[in-house]
Amino acid sequence: MIKYLPLLFLSVFTINAQESLPFANEVKEVQQRVDSIWDSSMNTIVFTGSSSIRLWEDLQTRFPEHQILNTGFGGSQSSDLEHFLDELILNYTPIKVFIYEGDNDIIAKRKPKAIIGTMEDILEDLHQKRPEMEIVLISAKPSISRWHLKGRYKRLNKQLSKLASNTNGVEFADVWNIMLNKRKLKTDLFIEDGLHMNVKGYDLWYEVIKNYMNKTNP
């Protein structure tokens, strides 16, 4: 029995560490909701990331020909998603996953280079565990409340696009430019907080994302 004690302590430590991570409770709630509707016999497409995904409540309605699971959790950064790849993506054996992260990283003063490093780790982990799964990285969006940081967001999007083009099975969906009128932000796309989108905003996202739903990545 004694020889098993170190393994027992390690297991308890791992569980406690996982439960103490930021967003652990939110992720549990997401799992409970998604588990109640997921049909494991059907092909699945997962959308995950921060609040711009979490608040996209009509994803399944917009894409009725697919089984869509929304595992977004508001406020998250790319490093938070990295901790919960199994719970939010891999456990549902999706054929494709759309990822929206980086928006909150920038406001938290993380540099684009550091964000890309985390995204590289995420892609490597996903490909190792599910090599046939297709991945779409959604660009950071512009917003009223964060428009003063547009330069950083544009640099991040440029690097996300480069990362996707250099990684097999990964594509980049640009939602930045469609939310602009030339170089000016379309301000009627947002709710009162100036950050999250209204239906008009999601209508524009739909016009971009629909092009990647049935597309096979190179």
Residue-wise pLDDT tens for the chain (218 aa)? 555 555 554 444 444 555 578 899 999 999 999 999 999 999 999 999 999 999 999 999 999 999 999 999 999 999 999 999 999 999 999 999 999 999 999 999 999 999 999 999 999 999 999 999 999 999 999 999 999 999 999 999 999 999 999 999 999 999 999 999 999 999 999 999 999 999 999 999 999 999 999 865 54
Q: Which of 80, 77, 82, 83 is nearest to 107 (CA)?
A: 77
What pLDDT does residue 214 have? 82
pTM: 0.90
Which distant-in-sequence residues (6+ apart) come within 8 Å of 63 by Cβ?
45, 210, 213
Looking only at the bridges linking them, the beta strands covering 134-138 and 44-49 are unpaired
Backbone angles phi, psi at 198, to 5 degrees: -95, -170
Backbone angles phi, psi at 144, to 5 degrees: -65, -50
| Domain residue ranges in the chain | 23-213
What pLDDT does residue 21 have? 85
- Name the residue type at position 177: N
23-213 sits in which CATH class? Answer: alpha beta
